Amino acid sequence: MKKLIFTTLCAFVGMTAISAQSTPNTPKVQNAAKAENALQQEILEVAHRTNNYFMTKYSDPTIDTYVKKKRTSNLWTRAVYYEGLMALYEIDPQQRYLDYTDQWADYHKWTARNSVNDTDADNQCCQQTYLDRYVQTGGKKDISKVKENLDHQMSTKRVSYWTWIDAIQMAMPVYAKYAKITGEKKYLDYAMNSYKWSRDTLAGGLFNKKEGFWWRDKDYVPPYKEKDGSNCYWSRGNGWVYAALVRVMQTLPKTDKNYQYLKNDFILMSKAILKSQREDGYWNVSLVCPANFGGPEMTGTGLFLYGMAWGVQQGILPRATYQKAMDKAWKALAASVHEDGFIGYNQGTGKDPAAGQPVTFTSVPDFEDYGTGCLLLGAVEYYKLQNLPTSSAKRTKTIVKAKRK
């Protein structure tokens, strides 16, 4: 009997020891968990503040915009905002976000801006959110007009529509998302062929693979140069491509050849983006020429954080290499938001570093919506990143497993 009690006691002590090893609860681990939770609370607070500002100021999402001329509210600037709002819903599922989105989409009849025959990528961007809502509702939204629009453009047999790099983000994910929903590969094939035309053919190719950056359009390909003789790489333009790569790869299996192709471009861009970050966490509007309107700018910064944080979570980018840059980028983004939610350092619309200048903490851009979208995209992926175990946590688990053997 005594032997049985002793054996049971030993077993209990052993199990307790293993349990303690498998769930470390040291002050260091506890403090790290608290810091991580506090950071996520901070991210969510900033996202709430800027989104509440926007939804309050633009409470009726159907109203046209009036910047120099009348534009319907499903233009690209607003569409990018909804990309950010759909991302925010992933970590903060409030029904009011969906109501606000559906009111906007219903008003525009779930159709590309202008008509189903519109081949302008900027006017197709809104369809990304239409497709997201279709998926979220289990197919209860009407996306027949999206199909009409894509089929119309594909019927022209042209892949030369995307003559500026912004277009890659505005339209390419629409084709990729629709291909995933329907299982019809032809939509993805068209998107990839269009991407490769912009990348490799237009003006000799808009992607400079040696430097890892894109020229905005044919007008900025050499012999065009910046003041110091360097190439002109516009921050937000490169941010659009970087975000597009993320949004298309999200629709593909990692074994897909197109995923691997885009992943290679993503890595090249990531390395170049990392090297060009400012010490204060922002990126200059001219990525390699600080002398050309150098200073803080948040839209490119938000898109770069979005891509980096996603890439680390997918195991594409090494966290140890990119962590400091992401932390600095988040601090910069958070610092750009005023107490009332207005976002400073938001470069106005245009196509190069000179657009919308001067860009300051208090300057008001011609459109506010896309800046909010860029911030939300970056904030959400950085928030998700905090759920990824750190390398120290992984090492702890490895040690525990080794002790169990």
Note the pLDDT of residue 390: 79
Could you tell me the residue range of the domain that residue 303 belongs to? 46-404
Residue 353 resides in a domain: yes
Note the pLDDT of residue 364: 97
Average pLDDT rounded to a whole number, residues 236-240: 98
Residue 381 resides in a domain: yes
Note the pLDDT of residue 26: 67
Cα 158 to Cα 119, 154, 254, distances in angstroms:
11, 7, 28
Residue 5 resides in a domain: no
Q: Which of 5-9, 162-166, 184-188, 269-273 has the lowest mean pLDDT?
A: 5-9
Residue 31 resides in a domain: no
Q: How many CB atoms lie within 10 A of CB 99?
A: 11
CA–CA dist 190, 193 (Å, integer): 5
166 has a pLDDT exceeding 70: yes
94 has a pLDDT exceeding 80: yes
Residue 164 · residue 70 · CB < 8 Å: no
Candidates 323, 191, 206, 332; CA nearest to 249 is: 191
6-23 confidence digits (pLDDT tens): 444 344 444 444 344 444
Q: What is the CATH number of the domain that holds 362?
A: 1.50.10.10
Residue 2 resides in a domain: no
Residue 33 resides in a domain: no
Degrees to nearest 5, angle at CA 112 with 109 and 116: 95
354-393 confidence digits (pLDDT tens): 999 999 999 999 999 999 999 999 999 999 999 998 754 4
Q: How many CB atoms lie within 10 A of CB 372?
A: 31
Total domains in the chain come to: 1
Which pLDDT band, with edges at 50, 70 and 90, does 36 fall under?
A: confident
351 has a pLDDT exceeding 90: yes
CA–CA dist 126, 130 (Å, integer): 7
Note the pLDDT of residue 24: 55
CA–CA dist 265, 390 (Å, integer): 26
113-137 confidence digits (pLDDT tens): 999 999 999 999 999 999 999 999 9
Candidates 345, 373, 399; CA nearest to 26 is: 399
Q: Which of 28-32, 205-209, 300-304, 319-323 has the lowest mean pLDDT?
A: 28-32
CA 134, distance to chain mean position in Å, is 20
Residue 19 resides in a domain: no
Average pLDDT rounded to a whole number, residues 238-256: 98
Residue 125, classed as helix, strand or coil, is coil
Residue 240 resides in a domain: yes
Q: Length of the chain, please?
A: 405
Residue 252 · residue 259 · CB < 8 Å: yes
